[in-house]
Amino acid sequence: MHLYTYDGSFEGLLTVVFEAFERKAWPTAIEQEQVAQPSMFGDTIRVVTDEQKSGRVWQGLQRRLSKGALEALYYTYLWEQSGFEQLVFDYARLAFESEESIEGNYTATCVLQVQQIHKQVHREKHRMEAFVRFQKSADGLFYATITPDFNVLPLIIRHFERRYADQRWAIYDTRRRYGAYYNLVSTAFINLETQAVSPKRYGVLTADQYDAEEAKYQQLWQVYFDHVNIPERKNPKLHLRHIPRRYWKYLSEKQPRQLKNLS
């Protein structure tokens, strides 16, 4: 019985892979230091993130896996659901111990699962690219908040950098409490936590902080959304399959209408 603990970073997780191979002691559990419970049976191995060791593991994986498979493995880390560490480990171990490429071997459980997770995380990434709604603030910043199911903020930055090269924008993940800010040159991760504001108010602008035309365009978008619909073809089931209710909070077209455009 071997419990490995690490600092929660991807590099840390790769270091765990290194240490386990070094000791030939395969983990029965991998947990983050902050949440790990000391194991009653067996030993606990506290792994310190090591750039050199994690780098060697990654290079080894690069020799054995395609770009797509490496991405799938990183996506599995961002998936963050229980057991993701063990999956990353199992996949890496299978890759190192197999003579030929393991990709496409969906008869192996971890390969199939990593492939499915890749798809899940990719879908959430794509949804965020679609459903993020920026609001223009008085100083010209385009601002949006998100609470994605998986930690996809690092994955969507490139998309928005290329799309909005000529406007300053910020996207804040209010659940994971960090964001990305683009200043017309490059993007940096930011943290908005201050004592002055309660966590519920992070990322919520007050009325006077909006650009003068913001409300107008939100309303025009609602008008457009209502009038592009064909009532004769109403199909609520299909509608919900495409935008499940949990995403409605992002969408200005799904917010209550102001009285004057109800006509």
Partner 1 sequence: MDSKINDKLKILADAAKYDVSCSSSGGKRKNDNKGLGNAEGMGICHSYTEDGRCVSLLKILLTNFCIYDCAYCVTRKSNDIKRAAFTVQEVVDLTINFYRRNYIEGLFLSSGIFKDADYTMERLVRVAKKLRQEHKFNGYIHLKTIPGASDELIKEAGLYADRLSVNIELPSEKSLQALAPEKNYSEILVPMGSIKQQLVQAKEESKLFKSAPVFAPAGQSTQLIVGASAESDQQILQLSDQLYKGYSLKRVYYSGYVPVSADNRLPIITEPPIIRENRIYQADWLMRFYGFDVKEIVDEQHPNLDLDIDPKLSWALRNRHAFPVEMNTADYEMILRVPGIGVKSAKKIVSARRFAPLQFEHLRQMGVVLKRAKYFITCQTKSLQRQDYESDQLRRKILFGDGSARSALLTQQLDLFRQVG
Which positions lie near partner 1, rule CB under 8 A? 104-108, 112, 116, 126, 129-136, 142, 144, 162-167, 213, 216-217, 219-221, 223-225, 227-239, 241-243, 251-253, 261
Q: Whole-number minimum distance, CB 252 to partner 1, in Å? A: 8
Q: Whole-number minimum distance, CB 18 to partner 1, in Å? A: 27
Q: Whole-number minimum distance, CB 139 to partner 1, in Å? A: 15
For residue 82, which amino acid is it?
S
For partner 1, the closer CB: 57 or 111: 111
For partner 1, the closer CB: 22 or 99: 99
Q: Whole-number minimum distance, CB 260 to partner 1, in Å? A: 8
Are residues 4 and 19 in contact, defined by beta-carbon separation less than 8 angstroms?
yes
Q: Whole-number minimum distance, CB 251 to partner 1, in Å? A: 6
234 CB-side CA count, 13 A? 5
- CA distance readout (Å), 89 to 24, 55, 68, 248: 13, 15, 17, 36
Q: Whole-number minimum distance, CB 21 to partner 1, in Å? A: 24
For partner 1, the closer CB: 10 or 181: 181
Q: Which of 162, 175, 171, 163 is nearest to 134 (CA)?
A: 171
For partner 1, the closer CB: 119 or 176: 119
Measured on CA atoms in the order 150, 53, 90, 13, is the torsion positive or negative?
negative
For partner 1, the closer CB: 189 or 248: 248
For partner 1, the closer CB: 23 or 123: 123
Q: Whole-number minimum distance, CB 226 to partner 1, in Å? A: 8
For partner 1, the closer CB: 56 or 126: 126
